[in-house]
Amino acid sequence: MSSILTNNSAMVALDTLRGINKNLASVQSEISTGKKINSSTDNAAIWSIATVMQSDVESYSQLTDSLNLGSATVGTARDAANEVTELLKSAKSAIVAANDASVTDADRAKYQTDLNEFREGIASIVDAASINGQNLLKAGDDISVLSSLNRDTDGNVTPGTIGVARQDLTTGDAITGGSVSNSDPTGATLSNGTVAENGGTQTITIASGTTESATTYEFTVAGEDVSYEAAAGLDQDAIAAGMKVAVDAAIADAGLSGTLTTGVSGGVLTFTNSAAANGNANDVTVGAITATSASVAAGGLNALADLDISTTDGASTALNTIDTLLQTAIDATAFFGSKQNRIDNQNEFVTTLSDSLKTGIGALTDANLEEASARLQSLQVQQQLGVQALSIANQAPQSLLALFQ
């Protein structure tokens, strides 16, 4: 039966042409973007896997930065330790020369001068061997270099690290912790115990000098305990500024913000009470200060300070000591060399792993352009034929007119 209302042939041709156009659009997208998986609608599973892999690749660039910084930090320590080793070798030569029986005491005094200069040079190198705030030649906590991202079968990620222990090559003597008196550098004293109302003031004065070791200052403000720890090497200005931060927190806890204010000028911390007159009800008491310094262990090369080769006996004793110190520096140099080599090897592996992931992502998502080119030409021919088929199908009702002539 023929009908002018329903043209089944045209519907079939149109549906076929619609499918061809859809496939043609897909191939054109592959050619223009170079990818067969552009979004989760293309293939949700493959897109999900590739996206996770891509996030790992981006993370590996951060790993590379971390490893480069770690390598630079350890490399700086290694170079410095190597220089210390060279200076100790020179110091050993001076000590050996001082042990010569034909050398006079006057000559030994000159060798002692050289030895002192070697010691100062070592101290300078150790102090300067810092990068990004890290000095691996001084005592302190070990550092960890982020080296990998380890993903388990459940998809959980844990960071992998390479630990680097510090190798103490400082020449300082041990410092025994104890109370810091007002006469000592960085000691502290109060002008009085109460901040009176109506603009009354009180001061805390930090003594001049710098902290030889970490020092804790403890006192009370308006009944609130205040504790401030000053790191080693801070002067009175920095201590007073840091103390102000701790005091302001105590003032806030006491509910006196806006009434009791603090100011700092140099090594002097000033309290000002702006409470209205009310007898003694608005007076604020600041309790007495105690300051305690931390203990500091002797440096790894502190025995250098005790070497005295100005005498025959001293030169003989120094010979054994310098060998021990030299071995300490050699061990530190070798340790840092091994660590730097491990970090550099890990960096190479991360780069290789990143490249492998990129290859895997490409295999999952990249388009096969040779295949896409062949499909494009095929679909273009199919599109032309589909248009012609639709045109023929649309002309079919015209034949029905002959039946009514």
Give residue for tokens 């000590």: 95
> What pLDDT is stored for residue 47 in this prediction?
84
Q: Torsions phi, psi of 365, nearest 5?
A: -115, -20
Helices 105-128/44-98 angle, 10° precision: 170
User: Per-domain residue ranges for the chain?
Assistant: 47-171+301-358, 178-293
Name the E strands within 316-359: none
Helix intervals (H) in 99-160? 105-128
Residue 239 has what pLDDT?
94
Q: What is the pLDDT of residue 2?
A: 66
Distances (CA, A) of 210 to 130, 214, 233, 237: 20, 10, 5, 10
187: phi > 0 → left, psi -120 to 50 → alpha, else beta; which?
beta
- Chunked into runs of 10 residues, the chain (405 residues) has average pLDDT values of 72 84 79 77 83 83 90 95 95 91 87 92 93 88 88 84 93 86 86 84 91 91 92 91 94 89 92 82 87 87 89 88 94 96 94 88 78 79 82 77 72
Contact 301, 329 (CB under 8 A): yes
**pLDDT value at residue 296:** 80
In our burial notation (b when 16+ CB lie closer than 10 A, e otherwise), range 51-84 reads eebeebbeebeebeebbebbbebbbbbbebbbbb
Class of domain 47-171+301-358: mainly alpha
Q: pTM, whole model, 2 decimals? A: 0.65
User: Is residue 74 a contact partner of residue 144, using CB atoms and an 8 Å limit?
Assistant: no
pLDDT of res. 104: 86
Q: Residue 245: what pLDDT?
A: 95
Question: C-alpha angle 354/360/366, rounded to 5°?
Answer: 120
Per-residue pLDDT at 1: 59
Cα(175)–Cα(302) distance, integer angstroms: 12
Is the Cα dihedral 385, 386, 391, 396 positive or negative? positive
Q: What is the pLDDT of residue 117?
A: 93
As separate numbers, helices (DSSP H) first and strands (DSSP E) second, the chain gives 6, 12
Cα 187–Cα 190–Cα 196 angle in degrees, nearest 5: 160
pLDDT at 398: 76
DSSP string, 362-383: HHHHB--HHHHHHHHHHHHHHH
Token pair 């619609």 is at which residue?
18
- What token pair was written down for 56? 């790992």
